[in-house]
Amino acid sequence: QVQLVESGGGSAESGGSLTLSCVASGDTYRTYSLGWFRQAPGQEREGVAALDYDGSIRYADSAKGRFTISQDKAKKTLYLQMNSLKPEDTAMYYCAAVNSPYRMTTNQARGFVPPFWGPGTQVTVSS
Protein backbone atom coordinates (compact mmCIF):
# COMPACT_ATOMS: atom_id res chain seq x y z
CA GLN A 1 0.00 0.00 0.00
CA VAL A 2 0.96 3.61 -0.48
CA GLN A 3 0.62 6.27 2.20
CA LEU A 4 -0.15 9.86 1.24
CA VAL A 5 0.32 13.05 3.23
CA GLU A 6 -0.77 16.48 2.02
CA SER A 7 0.65 19.85 2.98
CA GLY A 8 0.60 23.43 1.80
CA GLY A 9 -2.92 24.40 2.71
CA GLY A 10 -3.69 27.57 4.54
CA SER A 11 -5.37 30.91 4.11
CA ALA A 12 -5.23 33.09 1.04
CA GLU A 13 -7.02 36.12 -0.26
CA SER A 14 -9.19 36.06 -3.32
CA GLY A 15 -6.92 36.20 -6.36
CA GLY A 16 -4.02 34.71 -4.47
CA SER A 17 -2.13 31.45 -4.93
CA LEU A 18 -1.32 28.33 -2.98
CA THR A 19 0.60 25.19 -3.86
CA LEU A 20 -0.44 21.92 -2.31
CA SER A 21 1.96 18.99 -2.02
CA CYS A 22 1.28 15.31 -1.47
CA VAL A 23 4.18 13.07 -0.50
CA ALA A 24 3.91 9.34 -1.06
CA SER A 25 5.59 6.64 0.97
CA GLY A 26 5.34 2.89 1.33
CA ASP A 27 4.65 0.83 -1.74
CA THR A 28 5.87 3.50 -4.16
CA TYR A 29 7.60 1.15 -6.59
CA ARG A 30 4.24 0.46 -8.16
CA THR A 31 2.76 2.93 -10.62
CA TYR A 32 -0.30 4.88 -9.67
CA SER A 33 -2.83 7.23 -11.11
CA LEU A 34 -3.19 10.24 -8.84
CA GLY A 35 -5.72 12.92 -8.16
CA TRP A 36 -6.75 15.88 -6.06
CA PHE A 37 -10.22 16.04 -4.55
CA ARG A 38 -11.88 18.63 -2.37
CA GLN A 39 -14.88 18.77 -0.10
CA ALA A 40 -16.48 21.79 1.49
CA PRO A 41 -18.83 21.49 4.48
CA GLY A 42 -22.26 20.37 3.39
CA GLN A 43 -21.16 19.75 -0.17
CA GLU A 44 -20.31 16.67 -2.17
CA ARG A 45 -16.72 15.72 -2.78
CA GLU A 46 -15.38 17.06 -6.08
CA GLY A 47 -12.57 15.68 -8.18
CA VAL A 48 -10.45 18.72 -9.00
CA ALA A 49 -7.54 17.37 -11.03
CA ALA A 50 -6.09 14.03 -12.05
CA LEU A 51 -2.79 12.72 -13.37
CA ASP A 52 -2.69 9.18 -14.70
CA TYR A 53 0.28 6.83 -14.69
CA ASP A 54 0.85 7.58 -18.40
CA GLY A 55 0.80 11.36 -17.97
CA SER A 56 -2.80 11.99 -18.99
CA ILE A 57 -4.31 14.95 -17.15
CA ARG A 58 -7.84 15.99 -16.39
CA TYR A 59 -9.25 19.10 -14.68
CA ALA A 60 -12.68 19.84 -13.38
CA ASP A 61 -14.34 22.80 -15.09
CA SER A 62 -13.96 24.75 -11.86
CA ALA A 63 -10.18 24.27 -12.00
CA LYS A 64 -9.44 24.76 -15.69
CA GLY A 65 -7.14 27.68 -16.38
CA ARG A 66 -6.40 28.24 -12.71
CA PHE A 67 -5.03 24.99 -11.27
CA THR A 68 -2.09 22.89 -12.45
CA ILE A 69 -1.40 19.33 -11.39
CA SER A 70 2.15 18.02 -11.62
CA GLN A 71 4.41 15.36 -10.22
CA ASP A 72 8.04 15.04 -9.19
CA LYS A 73 8.65 11.31 -9.33
CA ALA A 74 12.12 11.57 -7.80
CA LYS A 75 10.61 13.28 -4.76
CA LYS A 76 7.52 11.05 -4.83
CA THR A 77 5.45 14.20 -4.62
CA LEU A 78 2.27 15.32 -6.32
CA TYR A 79 1.53 19.04 -6.56
CA LEU A 80 -1.50 21.22 -7.14
CA GLN A 81 -0.63 24.79 -8.05
CA MET A 82 -3.70 26.93 -7.46
CA ASN A 83 -3.83 30.46 -8.87
CA SER A 84 -6.56 33.09 -9.01
CA LEU A 85 -8.15 31.59 -5.95
CA LYS A 86 -11.80 32.26 -5.23
CA PRO A 87 -13.78 32.00 -1.99
CA GLU A 88 -15.60 29.02 -3.48
CA ASP A 89 -12.27 27.15 -3.56
CA THR A 90 -12.47 26.95 0.23
CA ALA A 91 -12.51 23.27 1.15
CA MET A 92 -10.52 20.39 2.55
CA TYR A 93 -8.23 19.14 -0.19
CA TYR A 94 -7.23 15.50 -0.45
CA CYS A 95 -4.84 13.64 -2.68
CA ALA A 96 -5.69 10.10 -3.67
CA ALA A 97 -4.20 7.24 -5.62
CA VAL A 98 -5.21 4.10 -7.43
CA ASN A 99 -2.97 1.40 -8.87
CA SER A 100 -2.40 1.44 -12.58
CA PRO A 101 -3.85 0.53 -15.03
CA TYR A 102 -6.87 2.16 -13.43
CA ARG A 103 -7.25 5.75 -14.54
CA MET A 104 -8.10 8.69 -12.36
CA THR A 105 -8.80 10.98 -15.34
CA THR A 106 -11.75 9.04 -16.67
CA ASN A 107 -13.14 7.99 -13.32
CA GLN A 108 -12.70 11.01 -11.07
CA ALA A 109 -15.92 12.69 -12.14
CA ARG A 110 -17.96 9.48 -11.99
CA GLY A 111 -18.06 9.08 -8.23
CA PHE A 112 -15.07 6.76 -8.24
CA VAL A 113 -13.56 6.32 -4.78
CA PRO A 114 -9.82 5.62 -4.97
CA PRO A 115 -8.46 3.15 -2.43
CA PHE A 116 -5.67 5.36 -1.07
CA TRP A 117 -6.20 8.78 0.53
CA GLY A 118 -4.28 11.34 2.47
CA PRO A 119 -5.71 12.98 5.61
CA GLY A 120 -6.31 16.27 3.80
CA THR A 121 -5.17 19.87 4.05
CA GLN A 122 -7.50 22.83 4.57
CA VAL A 123 -7.64 25.70 2.09
CA THR A 124 -9.50 28.86 3.07
CA VAL A 125 -9.92 31.73 0.64
CA SER A 126 -11.24 35.04 1.87
CA SER A 127 -12.94 37.65 -0.29
The model's pLDDT over 98-127, given as tens digits with 9 standing for 90+, comes to: 999 999 999 998 888 999 999 999 999 999
Please tell me the predicted confidence (pLDDT) of residue 27: 82
- How does 57-72 read in b/e, with b if 16+ C-beta sit within 10 Å? ebbbeebeeebebebe
Instruction: Write out the DSSP string of 60-120.
Output: -TTTTTTEEEEEETTTTEEEEEE-S--GGG-EEEEEEEEETTS-STTTGGGT---SEE---
Low-confidence ranges of the chain (pLDDT < 70): none
